[in-house]
Structure 1
Amino acid sequence: MASPVSEPEIHLAARRAAQLRAEIARHDTAYYVFDAPEVPDAEYDKLYSELVDIEARYPALVTPDSPTQRVSGAVAAGFQPVVHTVPMLSLNNGFTDQEVHAFDQRCAQALHKTVLEYACELKFDGLAVSLRYVDGVLMQAATRGDGARGEDATANIRTIRSIPLRLQSKSAPRLIDVRGEVVILKRDFERLNQRQRAAGQREFANPRNAAAGSVRQLGSNITAQRPLSFFAYGVGALEGADMPLTHHALLDWYLELGVPVCTQRAVVHGVAGLLDFFQSIKIQRDALPYEIDGVVYKLNWLEDQAQLGFVARAPRFALAHKFPAQEALSRLIAIEVNVGRTGAVTPVARLEPVLVGGATVTHATLHNEDEIRRKDIRIGD
């Protein structure tokens, strides 16, 4: 029979557990937010193991924000709907310099200003989510869904190591919805597919599908095995704190709270600054550690954003400037014929696998007969 535990012993264990949780959280922030690890992995593992041991001996000391609570093997019956307090809107797209000029002109005319200040950032190719923190603790995480309603993915999101279970600042707001993107870095995507091949399982087509599929697993133990990352880029509901004056200041505040933010961002002035940022990122695109399909421009001052407001389901104060379509060379292996339910016949080209814009392409529909004849497309080309 186990001997009873004395109160001084529990008090010492509770104090040590709190110290370990704080220290592990600090190391997580250094590693995942600032990419500057402070200790070797072995030392980190030692701290984590000590915390696991304490919580195993004293289950009452386990807290919801403990790093040991990230991984759960529970299988949900399904995803419950979550109504977003502030809708998660989509963005209007622009593909040409002329469209960027028109966007800047519309904003300037509406605000009666000549030169506007913009916050520029990357347009990630991942899954948009909203993280709700109450008194600094992560209480709920939801996918974007249709913008008004998403899916409760809290158990899965908690397994992502770069997402803090507790905000770092002692002056964290009473409530805040952190908006951002779940992504898989290029190097992690390659490693994930290597694991899939070694296990004889199907490879993922691209990082975006892998990220979205990982978050929407019914078993969080599967999500925990996927190398997911997160970058914040916006805010929903906020209570108990003053909203920063600018978008750039909001992202700086997130860093103080221990929330990851992409370093490739800038504040620019006028349309020339927007296009310079676009060209700079376009040059860097292949060397970036993550997949992006463009950049995002937002009026930097939140007062200006509020004045412009929204149209339909997109903000007037923001624009996604998309990159041109990427091209790649492949070989036509064979032509297969698909017959639809209505009897419609569609020839499909089977291609040597080729990576285009982060996706592996193996098939293409041959629906334009005139174009096929003009190019004289044949098997083996």
Structure 2
Amino acid sequence: MQRGPVFAAPYQLSADEGSESDTYARASNPGWRDLESALATLEGAAGALVVGSGMSAITVVLRSLLTAGDTVVVPSDGYYQVRAYARERLEPMGITVHELRTADMAGEAADALLASAEGTTVVVAETPANPSLDVVDLRIVSEQCANAGAVLVVDNTTATPLGQQPLELGADVVVASGTKTLSGHSDLLMGYIAASDADFLAGMERERALSGTVLGPFETWLAHRSLGTAGLRFERQCANALALAAVLETHPAAHRVRYPGLPGDPAHAVAAGQMSRFGGLVTFEVDSAEQFHRLVAGSDLLVPATSFGGIHTTADRRARWGDPVPDGFVRLSCGIEDTDDLVADLESALSAL
């Protein structure tokens, strides 16, 4: 059974100085240890660190690994805020920033870039990428990074450890937004880092403490509570995603449907080789932003919202946030509603376009 949240900032100190497990909650606390142990087990890692958000996870990792003269490679079709952080914060510090499409991260372009990179090189791969849903072969990119002496960081948010094990596939570090599918109730912000290299973890733990990007006690408890149903929720989300993708790929109002679980998807072969489940995200395009809003208005179940991974099915027009996608590009996050109900609702909404 999970223990309740511990609402404490300072902890009572011992006369035997240095013997305490906890002294101040920004450095350590029992709630973190319980949640981090569970996350490390899920990711197959030696250890994990929880932080205040998914962006905190990636920024803590990059700040702990990179200094002036180093190089970072980020996906050009992945989460846009990672690119923004690299350009707006790391580049002015003298860190060279390169962008590569997810599909190009395992191949000649990546090899050439790694061969010419200066200083410590960190490659950030997000697979499936958000929102493109392209997939990179992690076995290949991890081998390329190892041969070049680069560090491979994999964002496992979309796949979750229930669908993909990046460390087993050769990654050095895993980051993820626990805000999304793992916590799954759209009621908290949380990120985490997982790794098996003790030096990496120590440096990142120090960066967390110095930067103060910490997770509060109640959010820690909520996230740990949610892990007990994560497998059940994710199984239904994946089933719903496949069912809705199948509807969309044959409907004339939907274009360029992407879901790695579809046999005809360009990423399916690679995804099937490294993923046990294909996730709850589906993307497609309608003709315009106006059509997107008509689609949502014509549905009883689609909730217009950003983020993803919650128990309710949501639709997000990603061009609104600055992603380099067409105005009618839709990211559908499938919830845990009855599959037949979702299919009927989507078909009805599409028929009105």
Question: Which TM-score bucket, shorter chain as reference?
Answer: under 0.3
Higher strand share: 1
Q: Structure 2 length normalisation: TM-score?
A: 0.23
Q: TM-score, normalised by structure 1?
A: 0.22
Bigger Cα Rg:
1
